[in-house]
Every structure is written in C-alpha cells, then in structure tokens.
Amino acid sequence: MFWRLVNIFIACILLGITLLWIRSFVVAERLAFQKANTRVMFVTSEGSFVFIKNRVDFSDPDVQQRWFDRAGVDPVEWSKLHWAWSSDVGVFVSPDDNWLGFSMERYDRDFSQWGGPDGIRRRGLAVEVPGWFVIVLLGAWPIFWWTRHATIRYRREQRGECRMCGFAMGTAYTVCPVCGEMTRRGLTAPAIPDAASVESPIAPFSPAVGSPSSPSA
Ligand SMILES: [Zn+2]
C-alpha cells in the first residue's frame, strides 16, 4: 500500500514535470525566494530547468544604506522571507561550455559592471539540467519498480508461495490465508467449491460399499 501511494505520487510529479518542460519552450518562468541578501530561484526556460542561488554583498554598511535609499528598500521587509512567481521572464542563456544542456556556472561580479555603484558584488551559482533528463530519471523508477516486483511475484508463484506476501501455500489453498490474495488457480476456479467433490471424497465408492441410499444397491 505504501509503495502504491509512493508510485502514484511519483506519477503525478512526473506528469507535472513533463507539462512544465513542454511549457518551458513557450514561456520562461521563475519561482524566486528571497531573504535579505540571498535569493534562490527555479527557472524553466527553453527545455531546461535551472537552479540559481545568489547573494549580494556590500563592502560596508554605508554602501548598503546608499543602495537601500536609492532603490527604496525597507530594511525590515528586506530581512523577511519573500517569494514570487513570474512568467515570461528573460530566457536563461546557457553557457557556451554546456554539455547536452547540462551546465554549471559560478559567478562573482561587481555591480559596477552593470553600471551600478561601486562596492556591491553579486556572487552566485547557476545549475542547469535539461528537462528530458529529469523526466527520464523520474520515469526510470516506476519501470524499475514494476519490473522488480513482477519478477518477485513470478518467483513466489513458481515456489508455490503467495505472490503478494510470500506465504507458503503449496497447492492446498486458492486464497492466501494471510493476505487474501487469490492464486492464479483460484482466479479460474469456481467461487464456491463443488460440495460433492470437496466434502465427500469417498462418494464415488459408496455404491460398492452398499450404501442403502445408493440407487444401484
Ligand atoms: Zn498472501
């Protein structure tokens, strides 16, 4: 039961990831979490899933204060956790040395490079994974699980055990007394056993014994 739920859960995730992947070719989207100077982002863009973590460092408190004044940042709000989902964000540009859509890039740049004030640095890490890889990885699990369990069930059946719980049933049972699983034999047998064949195995010999109820006696 537990594994059945896990498999259903993985199947739902797999479906969601697949839809996200297809959608990423149409529109780039971003889920961002920010707390103080640290920001974590998940970006879907052109078939890739990108994880980005970066932080902004100020060389001294004066630089930070000037930046807050300039950008209109409230220090109290800034220190709280915020999250935002944005659609139609800029497409993630994969570095030239990416390998089949896999890439990892560390960066450490001064804001002045982008025309910002001096004394502010942005450091970060961007990890890009192609969407198809995540789908193959998640999809491999159900295939592995199903194959493994089909093998286990087949071997148990060959040994005369219950295919679900492994109880040694031999040929005596058509339904497992432990878990209630019906054997393959049980599935094809009549639901209620024939009373004559099961309860009175000596019945065929009754006439020879001379039973008074027998018509031939
Ligand atoms: Zn069983």
SS3 for 190-207, per residue? CCCCCHHHHHCCCHHHHH
Is the domain of 14 the same as that of 97?
Answer: yes
Q: Total structural domains in the chain? A: 2
Residues 6 or more apart in contact with residue 42 via CB below 8 angstroms: 30, 31, 32, 49, 50, 51, 52
Is residue 146 a part of any domain in this protein? no
Residues 6 or more apart in contact with residue 216 via CB below 8 angstroms: 207
Is residue 99 a part of any domain in this protein? yes
Give residue 169's domain range: 160-211
Is residue 144 a part of any domain in this protein? no
State the distance from the centre of ligand 1 to the C-alpha of 180, rounded, in angstroms: 6
State the distance from the centre of ligand 1 to the C-alpha of 169, rounded, in angstroms: 9
Is residue 29 a part of any domain in this protein? yes
Is the domain of 39 the same as that of 125?
Answer: yes
Is the domain of 172 the same as that of 128?
Answer: no
State the distance from the centre of ligand 1 to the C-alpha of 189, rounded, in angstroms: 18
Is the domain of 167 the same as that of 123?
Answer: no
pLDDT bracket for residue 42 (50, 70, 90): very high
Query: What pTM does this model have?
Result: 0.68
pLDDT digits (tens, 9 = 90+) for 145-194: 889 999 999 999 888 899 889 898 877 788 888 888 888 776 666 655 55
Is the domain of 170 the same as that of 76?
Answer: no
State the distance from the centre of ligand 1 to the C-alpha of 125, rounded, in angstroms: 52
Is residue 153 a part of any domain in this protein? no
State the distance from the centre of ligand 1 to the C-alpha of 4, rounded, in angstroms: 17
State the distance from the centre of ligand 1 to the C-alpha of 174, rounded, in angstroms: 11
Which pair of structure tokens corresponds to residue 33?
A: 């979490």
Is residue 68 a part of any domain in this protein? yes
pLDDT bracket for residue 136 (50, 70, 90): very high
pLDDT digits (tens, 9 = 90+) for 55-82: 999 999 999 999 899 889 999 999 999 9
Is residue 176 a part of any domain in this protein? yes
State the distance from the centre of ligand 1 to the C-alpha of 164, rounded, in angstroms: 5
pLDDT of residue 155: 93
Dist CA 33 CA 72 (whole Å): 19
